[in-house]
Amino acid sequence: MKVKSLFLSMCAIAALASCSQSDDVALTGGDAPEAKVILKLEGDGVNATRAAGTEEAATEPGAAIKNVTVFFFNQTGFIVGKPQFKAVSDPSKKIPITTTTDAAEVVVIANLGDKTADGTFDGIASLSQLQALDFSSIATDGAGKVTVNQSKDNLYSSGMGEITFNDNEGTASVQLHFVAARIKTVKIAWTADQNYAATEKALKDDNTKWFTIKKVYMMTAQTNSPLIPATTGTWKGFVPQNYAFAGGVAWGAAPWTWTDNNIGEPKQTDDYLALAADLVESTSNTNQIDNALASKSWYLFENSSASSHPTGLVIEVLWRSKEQSTDVNDLLPKYFTMYFGESGTSGTAQPLLEAGKTYTMTLSLKGSFKPGGNAGGGGDDPTKPSVDASVEVTVDAAKWTTAEITKDFQ
């Protein structure tokens, strides 16, 4: 799919001593001449050779560029002027940004909102300091409900490029990369003749049914991330300075207890939880849920492999432990858990979920759920990874690219 380029053409404006109420930006430091820069923003991967199946276009409304924050740095990595925020709303309006001829590189962060006056960037004097600045994906409303600010309606992206000057006019091209990873599809399949119940109620009402999938959720999903990686040449490795996590179910009661005093207890958010309404058995392929997430993808920051708390995906089932028992006490919870980026772990440990990639997952429950057996291989402790004998996991990753950048400024 052809990717349209987004151009931000900036006209030079006077920006001498102080900021005004307009889009003018005060420049500080150095005696280099003022310059205007024509900044070209491109979707991730537009200059790369695209192999079939390795890239997937972003179709979410949140992938569109709504605003940009622009930083200029000189050849030694120190900031030139101040970070500049520009709303991107009217395609017919030119966006003025000025710098000086000292500027050698430009960093662009999209959809962050205006953080230039709230102290977020106070003390940022170099590129390395900006690279070390963490941002949180967690938002909490007045009632204490936690949500994730990376969603189909809002997605951060960032990029960096070199500036080439011709007298006092510079040009730079910046490829934007998504900061989050996306889990698009979680398909769950099981072997035939397992007497699956579509709901918990159906399992309780029909004692010939063996099991139902009660919920699917993520745990220890990373909620802190820098917006640009430490290694900007490859745009990989979004390693936070401080770890912070969230999960689809609450911590504090067994088995989800938290003992790491160095990291605060994870938040609970429904953004990482799929319940019965999402767990619809396929009409075209029996013994399968096509997508436990329905139409709601999960977005999360990259959880470094250095973290001692890898991100996990949990399938919780309810299993009838005794043949045709009508006693609800014989309906037992069992868990299938897969961890991502966990080093040195056997079983179903999977590769790290990387920023800028989108994932489709297929989990095949290979065991038998016949009452009196081993519940298909499900375990009693969801914090422990399931073994390969009970679950087969297929994870397909694709580079997640901006398919359409529709605003053109000249």
Contacts with 129 (C-beta within 8 Å, 6 or more apart), sequence order: 123
pLDDT interval class at 64 (50, 70, 90)? confident
CA dist 121 and 109 (Å) reads 13
Q: 138-140 and 181-190 as β-strands: parallel, antiparallel, unpaired? A: unpaired
- The per-residue pLDDT for range 149-206, each reduced to its tens digit, is 999 999 999 999 999 999 889 999 888 899 999 999 999 999 999 999 999 999 999 9
Mean pLDDT across the stretch 212-216?
Answer: 97
For the CA atoms of 277, 258, 333, 298, what is the dihedral angle to 10 degrees?
30
Nearest to 272 by CA among 304, 323, 320, 312: 312
d(CA 215, CA 185): 15
pLDDT band at 349 (very low <50, low <70, confident <90, very high): low
pLDDT digits (tens, 9 = 90+) for 6-59: 333 332 222 222 222 223 333 344 678 999 988 888 776 444 334 445 788 888
CB 359 within 8 A of CB 372: no
Q: Provide the mean pLDDT of the chain.
A: 85
pLDDT above 80: residue 338: yes
**Residues ≥6 apart with Cβ < 8 Å to 237:** 229, 230, 231, 302, 304
Q: What is the pLDDT of residue 53?
A: 55
Q: What is the pLDDT of residue 132?
A: 95
Q: Which helix (H) or strand (E) holds 216?
A: strand 211-219
Question: Which pTM does this prediction carry?
Answer: 0.86
Whether residue 308 is predicted with pLDDT greater than 50 in this model: the reply is yes
C-alpha 117/C-alpha 133 separation (Å) is 16
In terms of Cβ atoms closer than 10 Å to its own Cβ (0-12, 13-18, 19+), residue 288 is: middle
What percentage of the chain carries pLDDT values higher than 90? 63
Q: Distance between CA 127 and CA 111 in Å, rounded?
A: 20
Q: Is the distance from CB of 366 to CB of 191 less than 8 angstroms?
A: yes
375-407 residue pLDDT tens: 999 999 999 988 877 888 889 988 888 644 433
pLDDT of residue 305: 79
- Using CB atoms within 10 Å of the CB of residue 201, give its burial: 0 to 12 exposed, 13 to 18 middle, 19+ buried: exposed
Does the pLDDT value for residue 316 go beyond 90?
A: yes
For residue 360, the SS3 value is: strand
